[in-house]
Amino acid sequence: MSSLQGRHALVTGASRGLGLGAAAALARAGARVTLVAEVADELEAATSRLSSEGLVVQARCVDLADRLSVHALGQWMAAGSDPADILVNNAAVLPISPMAMTDEVVWDQVLAVNLSATFLLMRAVAARLSVQGGSVINVSSRAGVHGFADETAYCAAKFGVEGLTRAAALEYRGTRVSFNTVTPGARIKPTGVTAADYDAWPDARRAALRDPEALGPAFVRLAQAQGSPTGCRFDAWRVCQGLAASETGLTDDALMALAETVERGAP
């Protein structure tokens, strides 16, 4: 993997699954990584595991449904002694419930974690990264472009993430910051399944899912973007396959060719 030496990445939802896979890949590529999650024991275990590899990581336990906590995190990552220049908005909750059974508490929580926190953290770093350079990677899913029964709130939030990302790319086009979305492109452990619950699944059920860490190279490549590509939607598995097939890595043009969506007006 190409080096991210000297970079600081912040990854939300980083204690398990895709978030942990992204955090591990970024750290192994040389970045200092801040892992953000809500479940303290999982976060401690994830951070300890990466630290044991000699990687430079730290943990911040944050409830992204709490607006004041998100504001504090945004201020810290934008103006602290070690500001982040890579932001991976991965945290999400996925309640399975038909619209008629989705109450306002559930609706508000899903939008707070999946969409509002993404917006607030993006807004906190955008101006600085537009000058100094950086990358914002927002994790989406098929639910960001297709509707699914019993996932009303989740679909609404992920559609919002897609629109938010493309609008930000247009607002900051021509600067040194990239805004892109990425979907797994492969079956991985579902959003919101705790490590304890996952370990209790039958072996056959777990074997059907791809290891999220296998998607790590896609996050490393997207973290290198600083102004281009931007406004795109990427399939992480497809990007990984492109990287594996290339002896010299993916140029910006080659990466753009793998994008599912390129926003009109974005470079």
Query: Using one digit for the tens of pLDDT, what is the confidence trace for 54-65?
Result: 999 999 999 999
Residue 267 has a pLDDT of 47
pLDDT tens for each residue of 84-125: 999 999 999 999 999 999 999 999 999 999 999 999 999 999
Quickly state the pLDDT bin for 210 (edges 50, 70, 90): confident
| 197/24: higher pLDDT | 24
Residue 204 has a pLDDT of 80
Distance in angstroms (rounded) separating the CA atoms of residues 164 and 231? 10
Distance in angstroms (rounded) separating the CA atoms of residues 80 and 86? 14
Provide the annotated active-site residues: 154
DSSP string covering 6-46, please? T-EEEEESTTSHHHHHHHHHHHHTT-EEEEEES-HHHHHHH
Tell me: pLDDT of 189 over 90.
no
Nearest to 263 by CA among 184, 138, 168: 168
pLDDT tens for each residue of 149-171: 999 999 999 999 999 999 999 99
Pairing state of beta strands 177-183 and 134-139?
parallel
Tell me: pLDDT of 137 over 80.
yes
Tell me: pLDDT of 266 over 60.
no
| 140/212: higher pLDDT | 140
Distance in angstroms (rounded) separating the CA atoms of residues 222 and 234? 9
CATH ID of 8-262, from 3.40.190.150, 3.30.390.50, 3.40.50.720, 3.40.605.10: 3.40.50.720
Locate the domains of the chain by residue range: 8-262
CB of 173 closer than 8 Å to CB of 128: no
Tell me: pLDDT of 261 over 80.
no
Distance in angstroms (rounded) separating the CA atoms of residues 245 and 238? 11
Residue 110 has a pLDDT of 98
Mean pLDDT of the chain: 92
CA-to-CA dists, residue 243 to 1, 79, 236, 239, 251, angstroms: 9, 34, 11, 6, 10
Q: What global pTM score does this model have?
A: 0.92
Buried b (16+ CB within 10 A) or exposed e, 124-154: bbbebbbeebbbbbbbbbebbbeeeeebbbb
